[in-house]
Every structure is written in C-alpha cells, then in structure tokens.
Amino acid sequence: GQQVMQIPQYQHVQEGEDFTTYCNSSTTLSNIQWYKQRPGGHPVFLIQLVKSGEVKKQKRLTFQFGEAKKNSSLHITATQTTDVGTYFCASPLQGAQKLVFGQGTRLTINP
Amino acid sequence: NAGVMQNPRHLVRRRGQEARLRCSPMKGHSHVYWYRQLPEEGLKFMVYLQKENIIDESGMPKERFSAEFPKEGPSILRIQQVVRGDSAAYFCASSPIGQGSNQPQHFGDGTRLSIL
C-alpha cells in the first residue's frame, strides 16, 4: 500500500544549527501536509503543499514539494530550543479519505 | 472556537476492563478520525467516521475495538477486555470535510491509556 517514508528518525543538533527532515513516496502525492508534535503534546498542523515544486516559508521554516510530487522536505534554519519536537509529514491515501503519516523525525536541541 | 475536545486526558485500566474514549470535534466539523500512537512512534490511522457512519475502519483491530459517532454527542472509541498492548496515546482529529478535499486535520490533546 501507499507509504510515506520519513528520514531521519532522530536528529540532535546544537542550538543555531540547521535541521532538515525528508519525506519520500513511491507514488505521486496529491498534497503533503506537515505537522509538529511537541513532547507530551498533540500534532499541530503547520502547512500544506499542493503544487509541483512548491516552496513555502514560515519564518525560519522552509517547506518544499518535489517536482514529481513524490518527495518533500522541511528545513529549519538556525534552530532554537522552541523547535524541539517531532515533525511529521502526511498525505491523503489515494482513493481514500484518510491521512498516511510518515514515521516522524524527532528533533532534540542542545542549548 | 473550541478545539477538538478529548476526554479523559489520562485513563488507567486493569487488564480485562473496558476503556471508553470520547472525542468532540471542532464546531462545524463532521468528520472524525482516530489514531493510535505508541511511545516514540508515529501516528497509526484507526478509523474514520462521519455522523452515524463508519467510513473507513481499516486500521482498527477486528476484535475488542469499536467506534461510533452518533447523531448527538461525541465520538466514542471503545476497547473491550483491554490488554497491556493497548497502552498508547489515542488521538482524535476532525476536519470540516474529508481529506479528498485536502483539508488539514485538527487534533485533540489525546487520551493516554495505561493498562496495569
């Protein structure tokens, strides 16, 4: 079945360093959504990408959707301690009305 | 607008008991999704419901688990005869219309279920 593979599973950085997480699928995705879950919290919607090659920015966060709509990335510039959490990508399963989530990338930061 | 409301936040049950988890979607949302999350893992889809209808329950175990979303009242996820492996965080999410229309999902705070 359709899967969304996300790497890396864990990432530890020094505060101020950059961070990137990647999502890949073997099938074309209609759209990709990104969520952030703080430790002990619930997933919070960040952004949705729909168009091929789309790039969106939210302050220090840059989201990209690949030209073939099979991969996506989230890049954080100059991480801060408030960026700690797990970042998930998700995409609607083809032909069904449900989201398939990537495994998530857990970001920890050394202040 | 109140967000997605889940209760209880924490639930402790002994093996063999029943667990009932409740979810009230955001105002104006008629689509409810339940997910299970084990520690250090991702979100696993369980079931998708609209009012009085189960649309997709492909992620829900065939035995002991059931879900409903009645015409009035919250959605209920029910786990009968709980076992230790049921210990997890259960999240509910809602959206105004189905994912086919590319709507993001709004999550509740979750219910942390612990089985003794």
For residue A16, CA distances in Å to A7, A73, A81, A87, B110 come to 21, 19, 9, 18, 32
* pLDDT tens by residue, B59-87: 999 999 999 999 999 999 999 999 999 99
Instruction: Sort out which chain A residues have CB atoms less than 8 A from B59's CB and list them.
Output: 98
Query: Per CB distance under 8 Å, which residues of A are interface residues toward B?
Result: 30-31, 33, 41-45, 48, 50, 88, 90, 92-93, 96-104, 106
Q: Are B25 and B6 contacting, i.e. CB atoms less than 8 angstroms apart?
A: no
Which residues are B80's β-sheet partners?
none
Using the predicted structure, report yes or no on whether residue A93 has a pLDDT greater than 80.
no
Say if the Cβ atoms of A101 and B43 lie within 8 Å.
yes
Least confident among A28-37, A70-79, B33-42: B33-42
Using the predicted structure, report yes or no on whether residue B114 has a pLDDT greater than 60.
yes
Instruction: Sort out which chain B residues have CB atoms less than 8 A from A104's CB and list them.
Output: 41-42
- Looking at residue B108, what is its pLDDT? 97
Residue B99's pLDDT band, with cuts at 50, 70 and 90, is: low
* pLDDT tens by residue, A34-59: 999 999 999 999 999 999 999 999 99
Spell out the residues 6+ positions from residue A29 whose beta carbon is closer than 8 angstroms to its own: A4, A69, A70, A72, A91, A92
Strand order in B75-79's β-sheet?
Answer: B5-7, B19-24, B75-79, B65-68
- Selection from A3, A35, A9 nearest residue A22 by Cα: A9
Task: Please give the residue that has the higher pLDDT: either B23 or A99.
Answer: B23
